[in-house]
Chain A
Amino acid sequence: MTTTLLLDPDIRDWVVLPLFIIMVAAGLLRHSVSVLLQGNPSKAPAISARSSSLLRQTMKLQTGAAHYMTTWRWQCRKEHAIQTLRQEAEWAEAEQTRQSENGEASESADDPMSAMMNNPMSMMKGNMVFMVQNMVMMQGIQHFFSGFILLKVPFPLTAGFKSMFQRGLGAELPDLEPSYVSSVSWYFLVMYGLRSFLQLVIGDPPLEVREQSSKTMQYGYLPPGRTGQDGAAVAQQLRQEAENLEVFVQPHKSEFDSVEKRVLGVHRYPKRSKLTGPDSHDSLFANETTGNSKVKGGKKKSN
């Protein structure tokens, strides 16, 4: 049975719109607070900076740039890169053990555990703001705005949603359609919907701020809130890349080998009609009018 309930317009004036405005304001406040609570940039661990740049360069061997040098040179470079990667992996591990023995600041850690150990406040600060605000608002809404139906969502919902969205509407009303929801659900709806809106409102930081973050990387620091990788993880990456390179096989020969043919054009490029070169003295293969030419006939047509 479909019932159409008439809701008091005061609900709209005093609950729906104020809740919306409060949430926009809370979102902006949250953003400002998170900017203020941002930590300082931390030093980029020298090991990972050095090794990751080596990694980037060796990965270029697998790209299309391989077709701009001869196949042979590419293979030489590949072997050299594999060796270099392995040496660098050993260096990274040695550096890491040396650093931890000397007790140098290992602000670098890959897992959240060590991040928590080294910098106990960093993780808390980031999440805390959001969580605190969430808790406070939900408690506030349940205290102030409970006990009445807020609105009817324009799309039909299944019965499963009733327990979630109709909390506090005084012992489940079995006849009430699930589309009628309470204030808490409006809160959730708006919270998720406002994320993109807030991004639009807050907008991009000015160019100077963006430049600052890129300069931070150049000066050897990580942007605030990011942790680097420690030597063991980096060494693992390097070894993995060395394995990948070993297995990597170019499906075709380098395009560079045939560049002269392309530049001269197929017609102008000399044809290998006879066998020339070191075997040309060999009468068995060189002379095309012998009976053997049928076997070697294919050679005449190909170039």
Chain B
Amino acid sequence: MDTDADLETLVAQKDHVNVLRYLRVHQLRDPSLAVHHGQAALKQRSLSDVTRLAIYEQVALAALDLQDHTLADECLSKLREMGVEKESVRFRLLLGRCLEASGDTTGASQLYDTLLKENPANSVALKRKYCILKSQVGQEIATVAALNEYLQNNYSDPAAWSEMAKLRMEQGDFAKAIYAWEEVLLSAPTDPFVHVSIAECYTTVGGLDNLEQARKHFCQALELDASYRRAQFGLVVAANAYVEAASNASKKQLVDDFEVQVAKELVKFGAEQAIQAYKGTSMLASVQSLMQEYTEGVK
């Protein structure tokens, strides 16, 4: 970044170009701000060519967010006027986004397919193909296939793995969702949300071993962030489910009494943490009675 100032200062100083740069660098999605400052910046004469092109691209994408197709078309034609060729990869990707926004998904898919034929390593085109399929109804299998293709080429993209995990959870395939979440875990092990998601998947599937894993992941989330309420509630539920599953276990399953004791302690611990968190709020009474049910059950 050219300056270290934060966004408010830049807006106050009316430093249009740097506002736009800030938005790009920090990947903030604020289309009205981008359009406003972009149009103001383009009136300046002293911009270098590179900066001007980048601003046109940014304003075009922001205009699509605001459903302002005229402005987007204007930016596209200005880009062509400035000498960008039709065959330019970056221009075609922008064109594809405009086609998608105006509803022409077949045209956009064809464009991305052409780009991929030219260069199979084009990860942006793969991402856009996936997004098109995701936005369409009834295309779950194709969406998963498109995402798989992207992941095959970009195995180390944690954002893509978390997309895969959410897709699988929507489809109800929790085992695969857990696998995908664990790939995210490898990249971001200290994110409590990932642990909570894994634990919730395990709890949904059920079964003694899975509930043990769920307990552990909820505990890990609490170790990372002791005030995470979702983890507190989840711990109570998962540990309680473990105790119930242990008591309902068939003769063939080996139940470790020690683990059952641990689970009971966890229920009490989770209940205490939850009640502590709601002290002083109006919901305390309902939370207390809820936790009472759980702790009664494990006595």
Interface residues of A (CB under 8 A from B): 43-46, 49-50, 53-54, 56-57, 60-61, 63-65, 67-70, 73, 77, 206-209, 211-212, 215, 218-221, 256-257, 259-260, 262-264, 268-270, 272, 276-278, 280
Contacts and interface: CB of A to CB of B under 8 A. Distances in A.
Interface stretch (B61-69, B103-111, B178-186): B178-186
A77 B183 CA distance: 10
A73 B182 CA distance: 10
A262 B257 contact: no
Nearest to A265: B269
Contacts of A64: 189
Given A219-B89, A277-B257, A50 B152 contact: yes
A65 B213 contact: no
Q: How large is the interface on B (under 10, 10 to 19, 20 to 34, 35 or more residues)?
A: 35 or more
Interface stretch (B117-125, B135-143, B165-173, B289-297): B117-125
Interface stretch (B8-16, B28-36, B219-227, B279-287): B219-227
Given A57-B156, A65-B189, A260 B48 contact: no
A60 to B, nearest CB: 4
B214 to A, nearest CB: 12
10 tightest CB-CB pairs across the interface, nearest first? A220-B121, A68-B189, A276-B257, A65-B189, A270-B261, A57-B156, A220-B122, A56-B156, A60-B186, A49-B121
B216 A259 contact: yes
B215 A260 contact: yes
A49 to B, nearest CB: 4
> Which residue, of B120, B121, B154, B182, has the highest number of chain A Cβ atoms within 10 A?
B121
Contact of A220 (B123, B155, B258, B265): B123
B241 interface: no
A207 B262 contact: no
A257 B182 CA distance: 16
Contacts of A49: 121, 153
A219 B90 contact: yes
A76 to B, nearest CB: 10
12 contacts: A49-B121, A49-B153, A50-B121, A53-B155, A57-B187, A67-B189, A206-B2, A206-B48, A207-B1, A270-B258, A276-B258, A277-B256
Nearest to B257: A276
A53 B156 contact: yes
B223 to A, nearest CB: 5
Contacts of A218: 123-124
Nearest to A263: B219
A50 B150 CA distance: 10
Interface string B130-162: 000000000000000000000011111100000
Nearest to B123: A218
Interface in B252-273: 254-258, 261-262, 265-266, 269
A219 B119 contact: yes
Given A68-B190, A208-B50, A220-B120, 18 more contacts: A45-B121, A46-B119, A46-B120, A53-B157, A60-B156, A65-B187, A68-B195, A207-B25, A208-B53, A209-B50, A218-B123, A219-B89, A219-B90, A264-B266, A268-B265, A268-B269, A270-B262, A277-B255
B7 interface: no
A49 B153 CA distance: 7
A179 B180 CA distance: 69
B51 interface: yes
B24 interface: yes
B186 A65 contact: yes
B175 interface: no
Given A61-B186, A220-B119, A264 B220 contact: no
A68 B187 CA distance: 11
Contacts of B189: 64-65, 67-68
B256 A259 contact: no
B121 to A, nearest CB: 3
B51 A206 contact: yes
Nearest to A276: B257
B42 interface: no
Contacts of A219: 89-90, 93, 119, 122-124
A277 B258 contact: yes
Contacts of B121: 43-46, 49-50, 220
B21 interface: yes
A206 B50 CA distance: 9
Contacts of B124: 218-219
